[in-house]
Amino acid sequence: MNIIHVLDEETISHIAAGEVVERAASIVKELVENSVDAKSTSIKIDISADKNAVTKISINDNGAGMSAEDALLAFRQHATSKIIRHDDLNEISTLGFRGEALASIAAVSKITLTTKERGASPEAVKIVIHGGEIISQSTVGAPEGTTIVVEDIFYNTPARKKFQKKVPTELSHIYDMVERLALSHKNIAFVLNYQGNERFRTYGSGETLDVIAGIFGSSFSKELIAVSDSFSNIAVSGYVTKPGCRMKSSATEFYLSVNSRQIVSRSIQWAVREGFGTLLPVGMYPSAFLDIEIDAHDVDVNVHPTKKEVRFSRERDVMTAVQNAVYNALHDEDIFDAHKTEAPKEKISTLDNFVCDPAAVYSPAYSPPLKQSRRTEIQLRRTGVVEPAETDVYVPEVIAQIDETYILAKNENGDLLIVDQHAAHERIMYDLLLERIGMGGQELIVPLPLKLSRKESAAVPDMLDILAEAGYVLEPFGEDNWIVRSVPVISSTLGSPEVIHEIIAQVMDDPSKDKEGVLDRVLKTAACRAVVKGNTLLNSEQMNRLLRQLMATKSPYTCPHGRPTLIALTKARLDSMFLRT
Ligand code: ADP
Ligand code: MG
């Protein structure tokens, strides 16, 4: 049965052109991806090189194989079995789809292809092609599957041959690529031989840790923590480095896959680091092995010549999903206990240039002017910074406020802590709002008239439920006029039209209609708007209350957006900075 056909012009024009075979490593990539797409469960890669260049690439798989006619068609430009029309580009589940790799590779090398279609004719077909010209075609005996041997790479394109990197560089690309493919296809057994010696092997067990052990050795799993979570129909699973374990100074150990396609994504890297928050020393990166599963319609894979990058239609949701998954994984393990003793050792690297300017520090007895302090006090009391119930939580001792923005404190170990008062207050307020979900807001004595744009007004009826859960009760008042009856907390900002417009915009901009996620964003916005900003003078009793409330929250070390609330300069670090050790 023939399954390969030449694409129509329109589809071809929809496919971004790209140099698929710029180097030996990219040839290996295309061939191995074809074996994966052919549903192989075992893929064997053999690489040979002389001292100048990779001389031979051989890929053997036990996949679907091809009929004799398909085997010839496969080498035509834009010949593929994976898509039929350009609509199919919206929903790609195979690694390849452009139908140009084999043609491009054949054009610049000498290829021998042996293939036998699964469950079809008893004979395999063998085709030899030199520089795109068919040299011979014959039937032979061979097991089901496909073997492709590529030799004399770039023999007829001397310019490209000259630009090939040294063999070790090429090999490191090949190893990296095969490792990534093995990680995104844990059910396939891969073997990679170089000059006849085995360099890498996986067993197709389906277990991520087995593949990681194949790459980094089996003891590496001790340094990892499992991630498994989903948000808005986006599933995230895998492993990241445990806080306190060896971190890297760049993102070299980020292994990401989206629907089993390995990708590079700066925004996902960012989301992983956000998920770590303060558990990650500044400027450092964890190792991450993460698989993201998302509806194929939400990913555009046809945006990069070698398909290394993808575009998400719901990028923000993907980032939230990754950030939350990492965050939750780290919090499951009671990591904050470890954080107190281990993480700060690393973290203080941020403070290497820490200079304490005595002139900027207020004495603990200092009190701000009365009028301003009353307004701040009212704001604090309305937003959770009240005398806390008795708790056993240790609260650091306030030393001073710096620049009306940071609180200096010390803990029982003599570590110096620097707290961002806004971020800390945000965490307190956010937790408070979370507790109050669905309990109704606080009714305004004088309801607030609110003029919305036509677009907002049309969207608001659908979001009344979510708004009410967050504490905002709105009622229609004719045309595009509305009345705000209650807000989460009666504060000088939460009922202001700007903040309500912002909150409505948050809901409108979330096409997923994922209720929890939207509500969460509303709460984060409300928390951010209601609490004290930087440049607000606090007296020591207020700072003390703020720290007490902060320590009583579930995640005192990060604000709801994942930014740090406090940074620690450990006693040990101070000692070493003063050359006491
Ligand atoms: P693409 O992968 O984009 O479809 P290629 O040029 O890489 O384009 O391959 C062309 C076609 O050849 C594929 O669509 C597939 O049908 C067939 N093919 C290539 N390699 C294999 C293989 N190892 N096993 C089975 N079929 C293969
Ligand atoms: Mg391909």
Distance CA 501, CA 517 (A): 18
Identity of the residue numbered 225: I
410 Cβ below 6 A of ligand 1: no
Identity of the residue numbered 230: S
113 Cβ below 6 A of ligand 1: no
Q: How far is the CA of 81 from the centre of ligand 2 (A)?
A: 10
- CB of 393 closer than 8 Å to CB of 376: no
Residue partners of 202: CB distance under 8 A and separation at least 6: 182, 186, 188, 189, 190, 210, 211, 214
Q: How far is the CA of 102 from the centre of ligand 2 (A)?
A: 7
Q: CA torsion sign, 125 to 129 to 134 to 135? A: negative
Nearest ligand to the CA atom of 82: 1
Identity of the residue numbered 386: V
Question: Whose structure tokens read 């003599």?
Answer: 414
Backbone φ and ψ of 199, nearest 5°? -115, -20
Distance CA 282, CA 564 (A): 10
Distance CA 260, CA 181 (A): 8
66 Cβ below 6 A of ligand 1: yes
Q: How far is the CA of 282 from the centre of ligand 1 (A)?
A: 45
Nearest ligand to the CA atom of 98: 1
Taking CA atoms only, the protein residue closest to ligand 1 atom 21 is 34
Q: Would you give the distance in Å from CA 140 to the centre of its chain?
A: 48
Which residues of the chain, if any, have pLDDT below 70? Answer: 8-20, 89-90, 92, 98, 302-303, 305-307, 333-372, 389, 511-513, 581
Distance CA 353, CA 461 (A): 53
Taking CA atoms only, the protein residue closest to ligand 1 atom 27 is 34
34 Cβ below 6 A of ligand 1: yes
Q: How far is the CA of 85 from the centre of ligand 1 (A)?
A: 17
Nearest ligand to the CA atom of 125: 1
Q: How far is the CA of 189 from the centre of ligand 2 (A)?
A: 19
Q: How far is the CA of 74 from the centre of ligand 1 (A)?
A: 6
Distance CA 303, CA 349 (A): 38
Nearest ligand to the CA atom of 4: 1
Q: Which is nearest to 410 in space by CA: 347, 342, 350, 364?
A: 364
What are 109's two structure tokens?
């090398």
Exposed/middle/buried for 561, CB within 10 Å: 0-12, 13-18, 19+? middle
The H-or-E segment that residue 507 falls in is helix 497-508
- CB of 144 closer than 8 Å to CB of 67: no
Q: How far is the CA of 142 from the centre of ligand 2 (A)?
A: 22
The atom number, within ligand 1, closest to the CA of 94 reads 2
Q: Which is nearest to 319 in space by CA: 236, 424, 217?
A: 236
Strand intervals (E) in 294-451: 299-300, 311-312, 397-402, 406-410, 416-420, 442-451
Give the SS3 label for residue 134. Answer: strand
- CB of 255 closer than 8 Å to CB of 183: yes
pLDDT at 357 (0 to 100): 24
Question: Whose structure tokens read 């990913």?
Answer: 299
The atom number, within ligand 1, closest to the CA of 102 reads 6
Identity of the residue numbered 454: R
83 Cβ below 6 A of ligand 1: no
The atom number, within ligand 1, closest to the CA of 61 reads 23
Q: Would you give the distance in Å from CA 466 to the centre of its chain?
A: 27
Nearest ligand to the CA atom of 36: 1
Q: How far is the CA of 190 from the centre of ligand 1 (A)?
A: 19
Q: For 98-110, give one letter per residue: b (16+ CB within 10 A) or e.
A: bbbbbbbbbbbbb
pLDDT at 343 (0 to 100): 35
- Antiparallel, parallel or unpaired: β 110-116 and 197-201: unpaired
What are 569's two structure tokens?
């300069």
Residue partners of 332: CB distance under 8 A and separation at least 6: none
Residue partners of 68: CB distance under 8 A and separation at least 6: 125, 137, 139
pLDDT at 157 (0 to 100): 77
Other C-beta atoms within 10 Å of 283: how many? 10
31 Cβ below 6 A of ligand 1: no
pLDDT at 305 (0 to 100): 64
